């Protein structure tokens, strides 16, 4: 069953009568339950793990990461300007920026971020890679983060390593938590940023508005999050543990329901003219970061990164436009997260 109305998607996401763990037992995802330390586990394991890392991703921590994010965005834009147009915004900006931010928080140096990237692509695929390639990618990424934890003395990895030494966290759990944070930290944000820029380029008045009125950037980011569809698979499968009411019907115990958050983001009962990109929407309760106990841990960090990136792009690359016809742009296929393969731009 698909829950695509806003109220129904929220009902599924916030109802403890649904289990994600039970859905992975049905092998409805190519990612293993073990390697997704937060996304597909239920309480009490989910609660215990999330509490161990949540303090590193508060709104305050996101604010503290802003200056370094601005510095990195400035360096990347500076390099594009020195080279001159055209630039490829995915490889030259969106990926190195978002990898750099989470890599900075977790202590993963830039060359290692780039080395891990092809493995992350395989891990985050639905059909684009073979089971053998996906297994090899898990091994490579987990091997790297096991080494990082063994050597960690400070920051969040140092804290997790200490929990392992004290026996309050399993070693594999810690490896999966920290590698999951790295992956969740840049894969979504990097692809989201590319799609946000494309949406801006399709609405040329918007970059002009943001340049003259940077105070509008946070609400523009919220609307771009609502308007662009990042989730290529619809949503996370949930299994009803008992008969549960959803949207005037009953999901029977054992049945599977998927909350389709991108559909919910265009529910006309909640959003006037839902197909319109309107950054002045007075009320925007989008579900792009989810809802309930699994709501995106990095939402504050992601918002900050998107705001910094869009502010700096419109300010420093005036006249930004696509360098190729839009219908020649390639899209990722066979992946959980939608995104552009390349975004060539001129300014």
Cα-Cα-Cα-Cα dihedral sign, residues 124, 129, 130, 133: negative
CB of 259 to ligand HEM, least distance (A): 7
Question: Which one of the spans 69-77, 156-164, 185-193, 247-255 is the region binding ligand HEM (CB under 6 A)?
Answer: 185-193
Q: How many Å is the maximal CA-CA distance in the chain?
A: 61
Chain-centre distance for alpha carbon 117: 15
The per-residue DSSP string of 171-235 comes to: HHHHHHHHHHHHHHHHHHHHHHHHHHHHHHHHSTHHHHHHHH-GGGHHHHHHHHHHHS--BTT-S
C-alpha 300/C-alpha 26 separation (Å) is 33
Sign of CA dihedral 322, 81, 200, 58: positive
Nearest distance from C-beta of residue 316 to ligand HEM, angstroms: 21
Q: Cα dist. 54→47, 159, 180, 294 in Å?
A: 10, 12, 13, 12
Beta strands (DSSP E) in the chain are: 2-3, 18-19, 87-88, 238-240, 244-246, 249-251, 256-259, 321-322, 344-346
The binder of ligand HEM chosen from 103, 185, 263, 274 (CB under 6 A): 185
Least distance in angstroms from the C-beta of 132 to ligand HEM? 27
231, 273, 339: which is closest to 4 by C-alpha?
Answer: 231
Question: What's the Cα-to-Cα distance from 143 to each of 28, 70, 105, 190, rounded to whole Å?
Answer: 26, 31, 19, 24
What is the pattern of x (binds ligand HEM, CB under 6 A) and - over residues 222-251? Answer: --------x-----x---------------
In the window 29-48, what residues touch ligand HEM (CB under 6 A)? 38-39
Tokens of 94: 């969106």
| Least gap, CB of 319 to ligand HEM (angstroms) | 26
**Using CA atoms in the order 272, 275, 280, 285, what is the torsion angle rounded to 10 degrees?**
70
Q: Does 297 bind ligand HEM (CB under 6 A)?
A: yes
Binding mask 48-77 toward ligand HEM (x if CB under 6 A, else -) reads --x------x--------------------
Least distance from C-beta 310 to ligand HEM, angstroms? 12
- The minimum distance between CB 275 and ligand HEM, in angstroms, equals 20
Q: Distances in Å between the alpha carbon of 5 and those of 75, 155, 224, 246, 270?
A: 42, 41, 19, 10, 9
Residue closer to ligand HEM (CB basis): 1 or 136: 1
Q: How far is the CB of 231 from ligand HEM (least distance, A)?
A: 7
Alpha-carbon distance of 274 to 281, in angstroms, equals 10
Of 149-157, 203-211, 248-256, 287-295, the segment contacting ligand HEM by CB under 6 A is 287-295
Closer of 184 and 320 to ligand HEM (Cβ): 184
Q: Which of 3, 9, 95, 181 binds ligand HEM (CB under 6 A)?
A: 181
Minimum distance of ligand HEM from residue 84's CB (angstroms): 29
Sole window of 118-126, 187-195, 198-206, 269-277 interacting with ligand HEM (rule: CB under 6 A): 187-195
What span, in angstroms and rounded, lies between the C-alpha atoms of 241 and 257? 11
The whole-angstrom separation of Cα 123 and Cα 134 is: 5
Is 288 an interacting residue with respect to ligand HEM (CB under 6 A)? yes
Tokens for 103, please give them.
């890599």
Q: Which of 4, 266, 286, 294 binds ligand HEM (CB under 6 A)?
A: 294
Q: Is the Cβ of residue 8 or residue 327 nearer to ligand HEM in the bound state?
A: 8
Q: How many residues bind ligand HEM (CB under 6 A)?
A: 25
CB of 58 to ligand HEM, least distance (A): 12
Nearer to ligand HEM, 1 or 323 (CB): 1
Task: Please report, as ranges, the residues that interact with ligand HEM according to CB under 6 A.
Answer: 13, 38-39, 50, 57, 102, 180-181, 184-185, 188-189, 192, 230, 236, 288-290, 294-298, 301-302
């Amino acid at each position: 069953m698909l829950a695509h109305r806003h109220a129904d998607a929220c009902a599924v996401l916030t109802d403890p009568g649904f289990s994600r763990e039970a859905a992975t037992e049905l092998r409805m995802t190519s990612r293993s339950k073990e390697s997704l330390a937060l996304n597909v586990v239920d309480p009490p394991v989910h609660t215990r793990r999330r509490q161990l890392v949540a303090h590193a991703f508060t709104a305050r921590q996101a604010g503290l990461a802003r200056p370094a994010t601005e510095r990195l965005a400035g360096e990347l834009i500076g390099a594009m300007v020195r080279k001159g147009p055209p630039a490829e915004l995915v490889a030259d900006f969106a990926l190195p920026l978002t990898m750099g931010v989470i890599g900075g928080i977790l202590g993963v140096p830039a060359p290692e971020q780039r080395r891990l990237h092809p493995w992350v692509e395989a891990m985050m695929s639905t059909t684009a890679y073979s089971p053998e390639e996906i297994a090899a990618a898990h091994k490579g990424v987990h091997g790297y983060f096991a080494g990082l934890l063994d050597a960690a003395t400070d920051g969040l990895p140092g804290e997790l390593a200490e929990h392992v030494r004290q026996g309050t966290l399993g070693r594999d759990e810690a490896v999966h938590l920290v590698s999951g944070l790295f992956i969740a930290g840049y894969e979504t944000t990097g692809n989201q940023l590319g799609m946000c820029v494309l949406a801006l380029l399709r609405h040329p008045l918007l970059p002009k508005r943001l340049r003259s009125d940077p105070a509008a950037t946070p609400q523009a980011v919220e609307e771009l999050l609502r308007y662009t569809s990042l989730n290529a698979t619809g949503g996370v499968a949930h299994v009803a543990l008992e008969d549960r009411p959803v949207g005037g019907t009953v999901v029977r115990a054992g049945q599977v329901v998927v909350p389709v958050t991108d559909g919910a983001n265009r529910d006309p009962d909640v959003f006037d003219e839902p197909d319109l990109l309107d950054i002045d929407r007075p009320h925007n309760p989008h579900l792009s970061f989810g809802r309930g106990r699994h709501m995106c841990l990095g939402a504050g960090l992601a918002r900050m990164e998107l705001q910094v990136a869009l502010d700096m792009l419109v300010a420093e690359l005036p006249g930004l436009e696509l360098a190729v016809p839009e219908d020649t742009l390639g899209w990722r296929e066979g992946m959980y997260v939608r995104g552009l393969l390349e975004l060539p731009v001129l300014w």
